[in-house]
Amino acid sequence: MYTSFTRADLLKDKKSWNALKKFYSLNVICGEHGTGKTTLIRRAANEVGTGVIYIDIPSYINELDEAFGKAINYAFGEHVPLTIQLLEKTAINDNHHRVSKWEMALRTINQASTKYRKRYNKPLVIVYDNINTLFHNHPEILDILQDNAKRGADNGECITVFVSSEVPRRMELRSAWSRAQIPVMEICDLNEQESMDYLIAKHKINEEEAKKMYNLVGGRLLELQTVADCFRNKQTFEVTKGQVFSMVKKRLYSAKLLKDQQHHEIGKSIIQDLLKSEEIDIVIFRKFFKDEKSFSEVLGENVFAYHQCITRQRKQSRFNQSQWHISFEKIMICSDLNSYLLP
């Protein structure tokens, strides 16, 4: 099950982080690229202060040692080097395989979790941001982190928060998922009022221009930032609009949806359905494609929004149901898709 999780919920009175400390579990916060997940999580962690270890998983795996080391040094300061030195002396496991520095750092965090729990009678919160970088190329590392999170939950020593653009099936299939706190939390796009407040208060844009910008790109924080920068550089709205449409066309090109490209006919069928109903079930969307490669290729280009974490109230039911749906990215709706795909 998945549910939306607002920025106000995460930041207001630190309630969200403190609420995590009422139980020992594995937590997942997800949100699509550009929604401001990292900025929001860092801010919340900084406001809570003590008791939170934040680890930003890098895009390049050879930087993982540094990421863990940086997190430990920030959390524990000058006491860490001695601990690391002690671990380095015993950095050979039973199979005579040299343990990596990030694994040694993980052991240090585990030791610190035990001591923190005994001293303060509450668990550490460990945040792994951008874990989606591990899904395809280094899933074994994700497995280790998830199993370690289960150990911490079982021992009542720490709470682990995984932050990602999606929740991979691999995570859900492992035994550690039994410790996952349900529902999974989603950081969504800003709504219209939040977007207007962001543009007007933060970027000093007048209400009329802010409204046009929201109608152009929707509530995706990254794209709002981009059009706000254009405004600050005294670029006219029409020029900005042209740039947005150009970017949209590049996305369509990358997804091979333009005329005479591989997925053009499929794209037309999907878009015609979406223009009628606004969203379709992921199972129906999948049936448009002959193979998994084409399905993943189109879905990965940010033409369509994959709502893993959508919760809706069905008219025929009193109960909330969580389902996976496909809809347009807001920025795609604002563009004239017919001119690109439905000639």
* Tens digit of pLDDT at every position of the chain (343 positions): 334 455 555 555 454 555 444 445 677 888 777 788 878 777 777 766 668 889 999 988 889 988 988 887 766 554 444 344 444 444 444 455 566 788 888 988 898 889 888 888 888 889 999 988 888 778 889 889 989 998 888 888 888 888 887 766 667 767 666 666 656 777 878 889 999 999 999 999 999 999 999 988 888 888 899 999 999 999 999 999 888 888 888 888 888 988 889 998 988 888 888 778 777 887 888 899 988 888 878 877 777 776 554 333 333 222 233 344 556 555 455 455 555 555 5
Q: What is the pLDDT of residue 332?
A: 52
Residue located via tokens 């003590």? 50
The rounded distance, in Å, linking the Cα atoms of 130 and 189 is 18
Sheet holding 279-281, edge to edge: 279-281, 320-328, 304-313
Instruction: Record the tokens describing residue 181, joined without a space.
Output: 């706190």
User: Where in the chain are all domains bearing CATH 3.40.50.300?
Assistant: 2-186
Give the CA distances from residue 24 to residues 1, 80, 142, 145, 198, in Å, rounded to whole numbers and listed in that order.
19, 25, 19, 16, 35
Q: Work out the burial of residue 232: count CB atoms within 10 Å of its CB; fewer than 13 is exposed, 13-18 middle, 19 or more buried.
A: exposed
- Residue 293 burial (CB count, 10 A): 9
pTM for the model: 0.69
Preceding peptide of 183 cis, ω within 30°: yes
The rounded distance, in Å, linking the Cα atoms of 228 and 237 is 10
Give the CA distances from residue 146 to residues 86, 158, 161, 209, in Å, rounded to whole numbers and listed in that order.
25, 12, 10, 46
Residue pair 180/26 in contact by the 8 Å Cβ criterion: yes
Q: What is the pLDDT of residue 38?
A: 79
Q: What share of the chain is helix, strand, coil (3-state, %, to 5)?
A: 55, 15, 25
Residue 160 CA to its chain's centroid (Å): 15
Q: What is the pLDDT of residue 27?
A: 79
Q: Which of 285, 302, 288 is nearest to 250 (CA)?
A: 302
Residue pair 152/113 in contact by the 8 Å Cβ criterion: yes
Q: What is the pLDDT of residue 330?
A: 52
Could you tell me whether strands 304-313 and 320-328 are parallel, antiparallel, or unpaired per DSSP bridges? antiparallel
SS3 (DSSP) at 2: strand
Residue located via tokens 């709706």? 333
What are the φ and ψ backbone dihedral angles of 153, each rounded to 5 degrees? -70, -45
SS3 (DSSP) at 106: helix
What are the φ and ψ backbone dihedral angles of 78, each rounded to 5 degrees? -70, -10
Indicate the CATH number of 2-186 among 3.40.50.620, 3.40.50.300, 3.30.70.100, 3.30.1490.20. 3.40.50.300
Q: What is the pLDDT of residue 10?
A: 53
Upper half-sphere CA count for residue 275 (Cβ side, 13 Å): 14
Q: What is the pLDDT of residue 327?
A: 60
Q: Which of 123, 119, 121, 115 is nearest to 52 (CA)?
A: 123
